[in-house]
Structure 1
């Protein structure tokens, strides 16, 4: 089925500057993901590198942390897709030993990606750590000093906003 040129341009715009994954952009444009992937590959062969342009837009719009978030989000989409594929594969498609190797490699890639992302995005990593500590403190106060829980919650809410402002 031939699609109008406008659909291809819309897909490109959603992916390059619209911060959408290729999968999401394809759904928005109501085209198969395979078609979107083919259009992207064809554009690259003609010198139109959508990924380079996407990275440039991301950097121009918010710096390395936004790019890192986008890369992590893209990885997580691929991770989820791969996990679904592995879960759906039968033993005829994939021997148990192959499945174990793939799961191990996927877990390793996840660990490395998250660790690299934490190094690139120290503020986001600090925010996550700070919020986790606040949650731990809330549980501690609730379990060990329940009489003080009301005062703690009263202080926690405005302090949580300050933590988000500093690290968010």
Structure 2
């Protein structure tokens, strides 16, 4: 399936400037992970290294604490936007929603791990998100019929986590 240049640009923007994982950016834009990876690789070969631009955009801020907080805020914004999309969409199967949630949780854990030493207050939120990620995997593997209910409960619970730890 051919995708428009706008779709490719959106995947790049989400990955580079909104700092979400390539997998989630691809899902949000309706392209396969292999297509997004190919676009990223082809861009790098043409001199547009998405990872270098992403790092430069992150470092353009003022101070390491500010960068770490901006990364966490950016992720939480994207997390909420993705949760809103998952909640509204009836076209995404429950199993795929759970997989997307697990991917979000993985991205969050990586973001938090990178900032934990700079921002010790993120440790509690990291623990909470790790538990949610493990629960998502547990439900996906052992109780797939409950995936839809888990997705419905997770969005408001995520808001509670953000209030408590964010």
TM-score normalised per structure 1: 0.43
**Larger relative contact order, structure 1 or 2 (CA cutoff 8 Å, min sep 6):** 2
Which has the larger Rg? 1
